[in-house]
Amino acid sequence: MAETKIHAYYDDDDVLMHAVKKVKAAKHHIEEVYCPFPVHGLDRAMGLAPTRIAITSFMYGCLGLTIAIVMMNYIMIQDWPMNIGGKPSFSYIENMPAFVPIMFEMTVFFAAHLMVITFYLRSKLWPFKEAENPDVRTTDDHFVMEVEVHNNEDELKELLLETGAVELNIIKKRH
């Protein structure tokens, strides 16, 4: 069984956005778009579902805040209370204003680091992983739209050239 895809090359992000909208309006399935830099609104134009990374970031921030509170309560109140500058160390609540910077920093630290780790794991970006982009020009100055062909190769080629593609490559993969 052979799977056929067309790689349409573009040299401008505005032309690419217009092409994606036109191809989606013509009811063709866009497999992937490879870009040298993020293109604002491309995910919406392709019809991709919104990401949930912000929700995980919030949960990681809550985890960091919780760990900061438990850590400061244990270290500064229970384990080794110290009288610093006349501040009482009888309870956490009395000392909380002094702990706010630590709580903030731990919240940001956990949210940022765990969010990056989650992104890499979810995207399957392992160390020493081979690049999946179809052409090295997609890391420099070209954009590639990968579209599946379903017995409509001529019609699809005509549409892609009409949208401003500077080059078309037909890729046939055997399974």
**Residue 164 is part of which domain span?**
2-36+141-174
User: Cα–Cα distance between 157 and 162 in angstroms, integer?
Assistant: 8
CA 64 – CA 104 distance, rounded (Å): 9
**CA–CA dist 143, 33 (Å, integer):** 7
Residues 63 and 111 in one domain: yes
Q: Give the helix/strand (H/E) hosting 5.
A: strand 2-10
- Identify the pLDDT of residue 1: 41
CA dihedral 35, 37, 38, 41 (to 10 degrees): -60
How confident is the model at residue 175, as a pLDDT? 63
pTM of structure: 0.70
Strands across the sheet containing 2-10: 30-34, 143-148, 2-10, 167-174
In a domain, 11, yes or no: yes
Which amino acid would we find at residue 146? E
In a domain, 64, yes or no: yes
Mean pLDDT by 10 residues, the chain (175 residues): 82 93 91 92 90 93 97 87 72 82 96 94 86 84 91 87 90 76
- 90 belongs to a structural domain: yes
Is 128 contained in some domain?
Answer: no
